[in-house]
Structure 1
Amino acid sequence: MILTMWEVSDNDSETITAITDARIAIIKTATVDSEDDCYDTGDEVTYTFTVYNTGNVTLENVNVSEFHFTGSGTHVSYYICKQQHE
């Protein structure tokens, strides 16, 4: 029995189109600096935006801007106590 070694090569090319899905999820939270157990007029509110990349591509230079909320508004006629939400 005689064994012969054969050199094998393959020069074919194939193009694969990846399906990209660029998505983000934004969660806005608020922290209230209140002197008592209730949120009422005059309390300072700090808003925080957390941005998550929920897609399958890398995102760079993502900025969040909120244009419709100015930080001021009309008087709130009720208050919310912290115990109701804890």
Structure 2
Amino acid sequence: MSLQEDLTSVQRRLDDLMRCVGRLDEHVGDSLDMRRVRADAGHLRESLALLQDAAPAAAGRQTVEMVTIPDAPYDRGLWADAEDEGLGSPHRHAP
């Protein structure tokens, strides 16, 4: 299945869960455990909404091309004028 089909399937099942929680709430009443179940179901709904909002961006994201780094040593000339971090320039005194 595609990502969109999976999200739609989860949304349908979550809607079923919310209906079942509502019916259960009628039977059990307002208890601590029932409030936890309602809160958890609400968190699932919010999390799925966030995931659905992020899914199009993730689906459209392009893959990053791997860059191979050769094992050969770097040219020492690349570092000729560089300062050592925290030590300062080799021609000056370190603080």
TM-score, L = length of structure 2: 0.16
TM-score, L = length of structure 1: 0.17
Structure number with higher relative contact order (C-alpha < 8 Å, ≥ 6 residues apart): 1
Question: Which has the larger share of helix?
Answer: 2
